[in-house]
A and B are shown apart, each in its own frame.
Chain A
């Protein structure tokens, strides 16, 4: 079947078998291997992506069901080489051990923060109920999500940008003027 799907801002037109799972389409056809297959049974949430702005498990969906829709993967979060605030928070809070669950955790955390801008500990744990970390590194994941909430608060933006600006010179080529 012919499908047209917007993934991370780019529209792809492809011929796919109806039985192709969305996660396999992303990984094998579009080479978006940032989205991983964890359990293959719909439990672990490692394959979480956003479909029209809401988190879904891409192993629980057929690629044809995404026809005409927008998909965002972990690879579509960074802007102009700058990580998403949730990615930054996971990085600075050491919210990963082996890192396999991280793409799904981050995608679900972003979804959670869209509904709950300042979640308490319990709300974060409930919101990440569909994501498993087999390293059991949950403490720092919860901390990272709460840290991300602070980074994303209204008013936190300018400070964030200022923070980034400070780092820009080091990324500039040496020399010049």
Chain B
């Protein structure tokens, strides 16, 4: 399987990349790690006229401490996210989710920002990005803008990114000291989640002070289980209260409803530790 022909461009700055996107029109596509896009090209599910490879934009790589939050460069690979100390200390949920993405080879090439922009509803990183209130920092012809995760994920494989915009960084508030867990149900190695639950919980003196719960692959995009989150606050961190709150997870689908509740219970139990 060989991709259809395309023009290949390799910008060396963000401004150049944005200009190229504008010049090439809406059938141009940005390629980051390419671990979702290259298969799509080979199966000819898409045939962009131009590929703009942002692999040379090294300023989009790495994680920085920005006071109350972390700034994660869009081109940071999954492998780098897994091993980053700032992420481990302040956004443990992202590390635990990333540990389950695809396989080691793909984690070496695939990027954090690329996964979010691909917006596959079964992709693992959307639910934690939503649950952790991530903010996308985007560059376009008219400058920079910020879009919250809740507005960024629009539909199946569709985000709020305009055709001439590029995701630069993702700002994630610090969740220092929060417990976290990703409970993923898939049948075989490498398979996408049937349903998965990303949970982060802050426990103080045996009481749940705050909770974040995101669901993977239960709709056209990630879903935040706000009813579960609010039901947990103020309850003792016990199996009984977790089980009662997890019962509020809903997806609008009978089979997935049940899975979401069971997996939410497991994720919260593990996150509380």
- Name A's B-contacting residues (CB within 8 A): 1, 17-19, 21, 24, 40-43, 45, 48, 51, 54-57, 59-62, 64-65, 67, 108, 111-112, 127, 129-131
Contact = CB atoms under 8 A, between A and B. Distances in A.
B51 A18 contact: yes
A108 B53 contact: no
Contacts, number: 82
Contacts of A65: 31, 34, 53, 55
Interface string B82-107: 00000000000000000000111110
Nearest to B8: A18
Given A18-B5, A19-B4, A42-B38, 20 more contacts: A19-B3, A21-B2, A21-B42, A24-B2, A40-B1, A40-B42, A54-B79, A56-B109, A60-B35, A60-B38, A61-B109, A62-B34, A64-B8, A64-B53, A65-B31, A65-B34, A65-B53, A127-B104, A129-B103, A129-B104
A140 B106 CA distance: 24
A130 B3 contact: no
A171 B105 CA distance: 37
A19 B109 contact: no
B38 A56 contact: no
A130 B2 contact: no
B189 interface: yes
A130 B103 contact: yes
15 contacts: A18-B6, A19-B5, A21-B42, A42-B35, A42-B39, A42-B106, A45-B105, A51-B108, A54-B108, A55-B108, A56-B105, A56-B108, A62-B8, A62-B34, A130-B190
Contact of A108 (B35, B39, B105, B109): B105
A64 B31 CA distance: 12
Contacts of A21: 2-3, 38, 42
B187 interface: no
A64 B189 CA distance: 30
Interface string B104-133: 111011000000000000000000000000
Interface of B: 1-8, 10, 31, 34-35, 38-39, 41-42, 51, 53, 55, 79, 102-106, 108-109, 189-190
Contacts of B108: 51, 54-56
A131 B79 CA distance: 17
Contact of B34 (A45, A55, A61): A61
Nearest to B3: A19
B105 A57 contact: yes
A15 B108 CA distance: 26
Contacts of B1: 40
B83 to A, nearest CB: 9
Contacts of B109: 51, 56-57, 60-61
Nearest to B5: A19
Contact of B105 (A24, A48, A62, A64): A48
Contacts of A64: 8, 10, 53
A130 B104 contact: yes
B190 A43 contact: yes
A105 to B, nearest CB: 12
- Name the residue among A41, A62, A111 with the largest chain B CB count within 10 angstroms: A62
A108 to B, nearest CB: 7
Contacts of B102: 130
A24 B42 CA distance: 13
